[in-house]
């Protein structure tokens, strides 16, 4: 593939924003066109820094700050011959003249720069509510290195103090762990009734438990309503339910809004979720202007809807394609994006890809839950992994997945994300030939187990019911051992261990609608097959078993005592 302009008539490519999308665009453009003039404007102090690493520097896991700069200015200059200008803000685009107006913050002067092609990757800005006190010096958002340095200094000053993190999304959760690691007493506040709102509530509930297990106070279902200040600092955070929380430091992690002012003022089209509209080659409504990253809308890989997906992977891929297309006039199209994301919260990892049950069409989708070990149970160190698979009941296509566990979450999510991208069905998942030896997995991987269960459901071998189904008026048989049942059970269930079921089948009424449940859905499937073949009229399997139901908010019994459910969702 050749660059569109020759060495005699080099093209001028101007890029706005020098981090994920912008830096990827610039370096790819250079690799594709040795002669183009490539100018990269970054309004802040640093370009090409690792946004995703910032929480880990604050928490002390990354100790060398210089490692956060992925590509140093010399690298842009010497290896890539890219003109990087930091502290240069592009303030306007003149599409007719094909120029940008640039404010040089070093010199305090404004100038114009001509472009042949322009790429916008200005990212997104943290949402900051307009509340009195929000401008206090101990209230922070985290987006760049300057924010990081400020938070780092504040934690150093009050590492035994109280931190309040508002927003239980990915960055909020990372900050909770890192502030806790630095010794702060951390309270997490989330407006929704679950942490990690992108996940379904029963999956997110495990993350909530992990936070509580580590001494984090979790306050759900209430939003930030205001601050009490003293001496220019916030001293208390006030929530919508009137709770007041002590605060030496406040982190706002309540989402981001796309930086679209430049694009909007230049008359470029914006989409339904407020991001810049781009085609599959990242061209905006002006074909000489490209856009990538958090400011744009991508096509979702399952729903097909245009939406903002503010993640580093899509930003880097889109920037790279835009950089190539801008100088060559051709590239592969940007593939739809699945929103695959992952977060570590202490010793638990949670991840998702594609649609959730919240976002999938309930009329044409179903979900299956499995709880299995992340590697062979007999090999030391096996840890339970909860996997939820969502599939289309019409064509058996995999629509999405979520996983929570101590280990092995990332590889399951990446395999399923790949399968979704290749439009796999749950039948395809049963056939995946995955690497296996006992320290790494099981001959029947958790992905296979989930897919088997989904296929059994679609093939009519087993009808499943949701883990939060109402047990009222149902005959519910729990086929776990008596010991397991004594530790945790659900009101209204009969305990007949699966190995005793054939002998004790007379204790059950075959004419009644019967739900079978166990710990995770493996034994209940065997039990359900036994009951069906002994003439029970309607046998339903509780998908996910006790391990999922106990996170759905349904009543739970420990011993003889009924206890409040752990999940308030
Ligand atoms: P950015 O990387 O933010 O770059 C935009 C740049 O443009 C900024 O430096 C900005 O100063 C500059 N700019 C804006 N306007 C102008 C202008 N007018 N003139 C000049 N310059 C301008 N994603 C993941 O997938 N995984 C993670 O683990 C993860 N962790 C994260 C942790 C944190 C703390 C943060 C903040 C983000 C994280 N993300 C993560 C998200 C990811 O960093 C972003 O999706 C990605 O950086 C977006 O790339 P971008 O190029 O659109 O924007």
Q: How far is Cα 372 from Cα 387, in angstroms, rounded to an integer?
A: 8
- Return d(Cα 344, Cα 180) in angstroms, integer: 14
Give the contacts of 256 (CB within 8 A, at least 6 positions apart).
124, 125, 126, 127, 143, 294, 310
Nearest residue (CA) to ligand 1, atom 38: 52
Residues lining ligand 1, Cβ inside 6 A: 16-22, 41-44, 51-52, 54-55, 89-90, 121-123, 142-144, 171, 259, 262, 293-295, 310-313, 315
Is residue 66 within 8 A of residue 18, CB to CB? The reply is no
125's CB contacts (< 8 A; 6+ apart) are 143, 256, 257, 259
Q: How far apart are CA 433 and CA 435, in angstroms?
A: 7
Task: Tokens 């401008």: give the residue.
Answer: 135
Each residue's pLDDT, cut to its tens digit, for the chain (569 residues) gives 656 556 678 999 999 999 999 999 999 999 999 999 999 999 999 999 999 999 999 999 999 999 999 988 999 999 999 999 999 999 999 999 999 999 999 999 999 999 999 999 999 999 999 999 999 999 999 999 999 999 999 999 999 999 999 999 999 999 999 999 999 999 999 999 999 999 999 999 999 999 999 999 999 999 999 999 999 899 999 999 999 999 999 999 999 999 999 999 999 999 999 999 999 999 999 999 999 999 999 999 999 999 999 999 999 999 999 999 999 999 999 999 999 999 999 999 999 999 999 999 999 999 999 999 999 999 999 999 999 999 999 999 999 999 999 999 999 999 999 999 999 999 999 999 999 999 999 999 999 999 999 999 999 988 889 899 999 889 999 999 999 999 999 998 999 999 999 999 999 999 999 999 999 888 999 999 999 999 999 999 998 888 889 888 888 888 767 665 543 33
Strands (DSSP E) along 197-241, which ranges?
217-220, 224-230, 233-239
Question: Nearest C-alpha to atom 14 of ligand 1 is from which residue?
Answer: 122
Residue 193 Cα to ligand 1 middle (Å): 28
Phi, psi of 27 (to 5 degrees): -70, -35
Residue nearest atom 53 of ligand 1, based on CA coordinates: 123
Question: Is there a contact between 154 and 138 (Cβ–Cβ < 8 Å)?
Answer: yes
> Could you tell me how far CA 161 lies from the centroid of its own chain?
29
pLDDT given at position 568: 38
Residue 245: enclosing H or E segment and its boundaries?
strand 244-246
**Pairing mode, if any, of strands 185-190 and 162-166?**
parallel
Q: How far is the CA of 259 from the centre of ligand 1 (A)?
A: 10
Of the candidates 185, 191, 138, the one whose C-alpha atom is nearest the C-alpha of residue 168 is 191
Pick the atom of ligand 1 nearest to 102's CA: 19
Quote the ligand 1 centre to 48 CA distance (angstroms).
9
- The preferred substitution site among 42, 48, 51 for testing ligand 1, maximizing ligand atoms within 8 Å of CB, is 51
| Cα separation, 520 vs 569, whole angstroms | 21
Predicted local confidence at residue 5, as pLDDT: 57
Q: Is the dihedral of CA 277, 282, 285, 290 positive or negative?
A: positive
Distance CA 98, CA 362 (A): 48
Are the beta carbons of 159 and 53 closer than 8 angstroms? no
Tokens 């459901």 -> residue: 457
Name the residue with tokens 């030896």. Answer: 437
CA distance 551 to 533: 31
Matching residue, tokens 């590239």: 331
Q: Could you tell me if 266 and 274 are in contact, meaning their C-beta atoms sit under 8 angstroms apart?
A: no
**Spatial separation of the C-alpha atoms in residues 272 and 517, rounded to whole Å:** 43
Quote the CA–CA distance of 445 and 438 in Å, as a whole number. 11
Instruction: Say if residues 5 and 116 touch (Cβ distance below 8 Å).
Output: yes
Sheet containing 224-230: order of strands:
224-230, 233-239, 244-246
Quote the pLDDT of residue 509.
96
User: In 3-state terms, what secondary structure has residue 263?
Assistant: helix
Structure tokens at 68: 């956060």
**Element (DSSP H or E) covering residue 112:** strand 109-114
Which of 442, 445, 451, 426 lies closest to 369 in space, CA to CA? 451
Q: Confirm if 275 and 297 have CB atoms less than 8 A apart.
A: yes
Q: Where are the alpha helices (DSSP H) in 158-220?
A: 170-181, 201-213
Determine the Cα–Cα distance for residues 482 and 489; give it in Å rounded to an integer: 10
Mutual angle of helices 312-328 and 20-32, in 10-degree steps: 30
How far away, in angstroms, is 407 Cα from ligand 1 center?
28
The ligand 1 atom nearest the CA atom of 296: 52
Residue 481 CA to residue 103 CA, distance in Å, equals: 71
CA of 61 to the centre of ligand 1 (A): 21
Task: Tell me if 533 sits within 8 A of 544, measured CB to CB.
Answer: no
Residues with Cβ within 8 Å of residue 9, at least 6 apart in sequence: none
Distance separating alpha carbons of residues 325 and 323, to the nearest angstrom: 6
Quote the CA–CA distance of 110 and 94 in Å, as a whole number: 14
Phi-psi region for residue 246, left (φ > 0), alpha (ψ -120 to 50) or beta? beta
Q: Which atom of ligand 1 is nearest to the CA of 319?
A: 51
Whether the Cβ atoms of residue 102 and residue 110 lie closer than 8 Å to each other: yes
Catalytic residue among 52, 328, 455, 518: 52
pTM over 0.75: yes
Alpha helices in 3-67 (DSSP H): 20-32, 54-58
Q: Going by CA atoms, what residue is nearest to atom 31 of ligand 1?
A: 52
Give the position, in ligand 1's atom list, of the atom nearest the Cα of 261: 18
CB 263 within 8 A of CB 283: no
Query: Closest Cα to residue 324, out of 273, 275, 282?
Result: 282
Instruction: Name the nearest CA neighbour of 389 among 336, 426, 348.
Output: 426
Indicate the top mutation candidate among 311, 319, 353 to test ligand 1's pocket, ranked by most ligand atoms within 8 A of CB: 311
Pocket test for ligand 1, best of 14, 17, 292 (most atoms within 8 A of CB): 17
Question: What pLDDT was estimated at residue 43?
Answer: 97
Q: Are 541 and 515 in contact (CB under 8 A)?
A: yes
Residue 52 annotated in active site: yes
| Ligand 1 centroid, distance to 312 Cα (angstroms) | 8
């Amino acid at each position: 593939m050749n660059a569109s302009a020759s060495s005699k008539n080099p093209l001028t490519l101007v890029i706005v924003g020098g981090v994920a999308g912008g830096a990827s665009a610039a370096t790819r453009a250079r690799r594709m066109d040795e002669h183009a003039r490539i100018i990269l404007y970054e309004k802040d102090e640093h370009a090409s820094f690792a946004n995703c690493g910032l929480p880990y520097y604050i928490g002390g896991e990354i100790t060398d700050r210089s490692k956060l700069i992925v590509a140093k200015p010399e690298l842009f200059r010497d290896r890539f011959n890219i003109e990087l200008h930091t502290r240069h803000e592009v303030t306007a685009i003149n599409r007719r003249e094909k120029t940008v107006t640039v404010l040089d913050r070093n010199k305090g002067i404004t100038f114009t720069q001509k472009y042949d092609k322009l790429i916008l990757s200005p990212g997104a800005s943290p949402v900051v509510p307009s509340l009195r006190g929000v401008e206090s010096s101990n209230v922070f958002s985290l987006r760049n290195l300057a924010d990081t340095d400020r938070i780092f200094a504040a934690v150093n000053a009050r590492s035994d103090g109280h931190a309040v993190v508002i927003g239980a999304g990915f960055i909020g959760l990372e900050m909770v762990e890192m502030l806790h690691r630095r010794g702060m007493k951390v309270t997490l506040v989330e407006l929704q009734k679950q942490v990690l709102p992108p996940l379904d509530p029963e999956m997110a509930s495990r993350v909530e438990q992990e936070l509580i297990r580590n001494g984090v106070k979790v306050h759900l279902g209430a939003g930030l309503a205001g601050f009490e200040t003293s001496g220019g600092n916030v001293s208390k955070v006030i929530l919508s339910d009137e709770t007041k929380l002590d605060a030496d430091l406040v982190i706002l992690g309540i989402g981001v809004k796309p930086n679209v002012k430049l694009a909007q003022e230049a008359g470029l089209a914006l989409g339904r979720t407020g991001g810049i509209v781009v085609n599959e080659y990242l061209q905006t409504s002006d074909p000489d202007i490209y856009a990538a990253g958090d400011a744009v809308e991508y096509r979702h890989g399952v729903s097909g809807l245009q939406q903002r997906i503010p993640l580093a992977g899509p930003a880097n891929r889109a920037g790279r394609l835009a950089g190539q297309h801008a100088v060559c006039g051709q590239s592969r199209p940007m593939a739809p994006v699945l929103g695959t994301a992952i977060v570590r919260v202490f010793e638990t990892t949670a991840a998702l890809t594609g649609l959730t049950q919240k976002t999938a069409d309930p009329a044409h989708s179903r979900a299956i839950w499995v709880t299995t070990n992340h590697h062979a149970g007999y090999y030391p160190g096996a840890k339970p992994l909860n996997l939820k698979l969502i599939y289309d009941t019409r064509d058996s296509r995999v629509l999405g997945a979520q996983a929570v566990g101590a280990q092995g979450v990332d590889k399951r999510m990446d395999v399923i994300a790949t399968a979704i991208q290749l439009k796999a069905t749950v039948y395809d998942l049963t056939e995946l030939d995955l690497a296996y030896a006992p320290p790494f997995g099981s001959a029947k991987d958790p992905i296979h187990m989930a897919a088997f269960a989904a296929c059994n459901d679609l093939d009519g071998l087993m009808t499943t019911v949701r883990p939060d189904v109402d047990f009222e008026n149902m005959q519910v048989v729990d086929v776990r051992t008596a010991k397991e049942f004594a530790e945790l059970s659900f009101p209204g269930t009969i305990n007949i261990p699966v190995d005793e079921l054939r002998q004790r089948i007379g204790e059950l009424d075959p004419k009644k609608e019967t739900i079978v449940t166990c710990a995770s859905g493996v034994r209940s499937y065997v039990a359900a097959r036994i009951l069906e073949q002994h003439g029970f009229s309607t046998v339903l399997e509780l998908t996910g078993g006790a391990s999922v139901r106990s996170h759905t908010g349904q009543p739970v019994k420990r011993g003889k005592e009924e206890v409040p459910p752990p999940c308030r969702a």
